[in-house]
Amino acid sequence: MTARRRGRASRMACAAVLVLLPVLAVRHAASFPLYGDQTVLPAGTELNQDALTVPREQFRTEAAEGIPSYMVKLGDLAFNSPALLGGIARQAGMSCNTCHVAGASNPKFFIPGLSRHPGTFDTTGPLFNAKADNGVFDPVRIPSLRGARYLAPYGNDGRTASLRDFVRNVIVGEFAGPEPSPAILDALVAYIQDIDFLDNRRLGPGGRLVTTDEAQLRGQALFNKPFPNDPSLSCAICHVPFGAFLDHRQHDVGSGGLFKTPTLMNANFNAPYFHDGRFDSYEQVVGYFDRVFHLELSPQDTRDLVAYLNAIGDGWRPNVANRIGVQLQEISGFASVLATAIPAHDAETVALTVDTIDNELRELIEQFPDHRDPTIPGGQAERQRARSVLKGMLLNLSRIELAAAAGDFDRAAAEFQNYRYVASANVGAALRAAEPWSLFNPKIHDAHYDAIRQMQALQTAAKPDH
């Protein structure tokens, strides 16, 4: 994109170009980083799937003390389903959630040949849909979807007004997925639009800072101050403080074309910055605008602007520990879709739900390695129990799907009752008992992945020759 749309620097604005990318995601694929020559994704791929923390999702519905609708739950489910995509993406177990982890971004995501920096990805590369390949290596940053309902138009260049159209293009155009049903598209949009910005207690009405911090206040003044060489411009002209720090327009700031003004809300967690992820820090971003727009900032000015950006880009509890409770809550949310889909005799949604939870459960089972893992010093009985309960749930879901596919929805309903009983009665306790010997324990986690990396290190340049 940068190569095709290179243009002269516009006189407009200080758009740091954090853009809603046409990227959905990869999820739950297995042991990363990948190595060997039998992997679906290129060796060296890093999807950050073993992270011990995950971004926190804040939903508009829950903030209003409501309960997410069926459509939001279905959308969440679809967002996590590899079945939505096609080709290599589906083969690799990719879903929207892999790039947009819990609706945020994925700053460690890296696919050799498709990423220039971690957190970037060439959506018009050859791997996922040869028809979408533009022949140019032009990765763009993976954006957070927090507050997406405020962020139209969509795409890093703002080319699509409708979120629904944008999502459909990502599925079908970029990831070679089958045409999604209108209901699934509506559900995905409902889910994405329910993902809110994280609360930022440093921001008051109209996007004004609520602080006595002098550096931040000086930064706020600079942010609103007209540019020395063009008084019609300021940072705040494009990043409108009372409008979620964006203006819904595209600008050319000399970075390679016209790009949409990104929001600065929660931007502390959205690095790297600019449409192509070229900058890792606010200091670099401010330095760029200082050079290009001749802002004549002193070192103190730069520090003050960075302090201000850090204040307005903050968010309360951006991450949560990736613990058992988080996983079970997610699975429980997905399973709740069955409570509507089974009585509605909707075999297609039942299959999608089972498929998605199946992947989640298999991933969860891997968090409790079996007896062959030499990096775990004990807890074999507890791990066995946890694995057994999870496998039981998984098979229960298989029975639900088999019954629904056969048109026997009464049996599917009975199996769903069993599933709910097991899920509420046995799972939490069994998993928590095994947690100290699971990959949820940071020490065990590190030892396990160190062992994998040790094997990888030995493999350097190895090629099977049989």
3-state secondary structure of 233: coil
Instruction: Please state the closest distance from residue 328 (CB atom) to another protein, in A.
Output: 19
426 binds another protein (CB under 8 A): no
407 binds another protein (CB under 8 A): no
* Closest CA relative to residue 264, chosen from 100, 433, 151, 373: 151
Q: Which is nearer to another protein, 68 or 392 (CB)?
A: 392
Query: Which range touches another protein (CB under 8 A), out of 26-34, 110-118, 261-269, 321-329?
Result: 26-34
Q: Which is nearer to another protein, 50 or 276 (CB)?
A: 50
Q: Which is nearer to another protein, 193 or 388 (CB)?
A: 388
Q: Which is nearer to another protein, 67 or 462 (CB)?
A: 462
332 binds another protein (CB under 8 A): no
139 binds another protein (CB under 8 A): no
355 binds another protein (CB under 8 A): yes
242-281: which residues touch another protein (CB under 8 A)? none
Query: Which range touches another protein (CB under 8 A), out of 28-36, 168-176, 204-212, 332-340?
Result: 28-36
CA atoms of 400 and 141, how far apart (whole Å): 40
68-107: which residues touch another protein (CB under 8 A)? 82-83, 90-93
Contact between 55 and 318 under an 8 Å Cβ cutoff? The reply is yes
Q: Which is nearer to another protein, 8 or 372 (CB)?
A: 372
CA atoms of 399 and 209, how far apart (whole Å): 55
CA atoms of 314 and 200, how far apart (whole Å): 6
CA atoms of 379 and 371, how far apart (whole Å): 9
Query: Which range touches another protein (CB under 8 A), out of 22-30, 64-72, 289-297, 298-306?
Result: 22-30
358 binds another protein (CB under 8 A): yes
Contact between 225 and 1 under an 8 Å Cβ cutoff? The reply is no
State which of residues 53, 181, 281, 398 lies at the interface with another protein (CB under 8 A). Answer: 398
Please list, residue by residue across 175-206, b when 16 or more beta carbons sit within 10 angstroms of its beta carbon and e when fewer do: bbbeebeeebbebbbbbbbbbbbbebebbeee
* Closest CA relative to residue 255, chosen from 310, 305, 293, 301: 293
321 binds another protein (CB under 8 A): no
State which of residues 113, 204, 374, 377 lies at the interface with another protein (CB under 8 A). Answer: 374
* Closest CA relative to residue 95, chosen from 352, 394, 270: 352
State which of residues 10, 11, 40, 284 lies at the interface with another protein (CB under 8 A). Answer: 40
Burial of 296 (0-12, 13-18, 19+ CB in 10 A): exposed
Radius of gyration of the chain (CA): 23
39 binds another protein (CB under 8 A): yes
Burial of 275 (0-12, 13-18, 19+ CB in 10 A): buried
3-state secondary structure of 250: strand
Query: Which range touches another protein (CB under 8 A), out of 124-132, 223-231, 312-320, 395-403?
Result: 395-403
Contact between 83 and 93 under an 8 Å Cβ cutoff? The reply is no
Query: How many residues appear in the chain?
Result: 466
- State both tokens at 90: 């589906």
**Identity (one letter) of the amino acid at 103?**
G
460 binds another protein (CB under 8 A): yes
Instruction: Please state the closest distance from residue 337 (CB atom) to another protein, in A.
Output: 19
Q: Which is nearer to another protein, 317 or 391 (CB)?
A: 391
Q: Which is nearer to another protein, 41 or 72 (CB)?
A: 41
Q: Which is nearer to another protein, 16 or 94 (CB)?
A: 94
Instruction: Please state the closest distance from residue 444 (CB atom) to another protein, in A.
Output: 13
Burial of 129 (0-12, 13-18, 19+ CB in 10 A): buried
Place of tokens 């509605």: 344
CA atoms of 41 and 92, how far apart (whole Å): 7
Q: List the beta bridge partners of residue 209.
A: 203
How many helical (H) and strand (E) elements, i.e. helices and strands, does the chain have?
17, 6
State which of residues 3, 4, 9, 36 lies at the interface with another protein (CB under 8 A). Answer: 36
Query: Which range touches another protein (CB under 8 A), out of 115-123, 264-272, 341-349, 373-381?
Result: 373-381
399 binds another protein (CB under 8 A): yes
229 binds another protein (CB under 8 A): no
Contact between 439 and 369 under an 8 Å Cβ cutoff? The reply is yes
State which of residues 5, 6, 37, 281 lies at the interface with another protein (CB under 8 A). Answer: 37
CA atoms of 86 and 104, how far apart (whole Å): 22
State which of residues 208, 291, 391, 443 lies at the interface with another protein (CB under 8 A). Answer: 391
Instruction: Please state the closest distance from residue 352 (CB atom) to another protein, in A.
Output: 11
Instruction: Please state the closest distance from residue 461 (CB atom) to another protein, in A.
Output: 4
| Count of chain residues binding another protein (CB under 8 A) | 52
153: cis peptide before it, omega within 30°?
yes
Note the residues at the interface with another protein (CB under 8 A). Answer: 28-32, 34-41, 82-83, 90-93, 355, 358, 362, 371-375, 381, 384-385, 387-388, 391-392, 394-395, 398-399, 402, 448, 451-452, 454-455, 458-462, 464-466
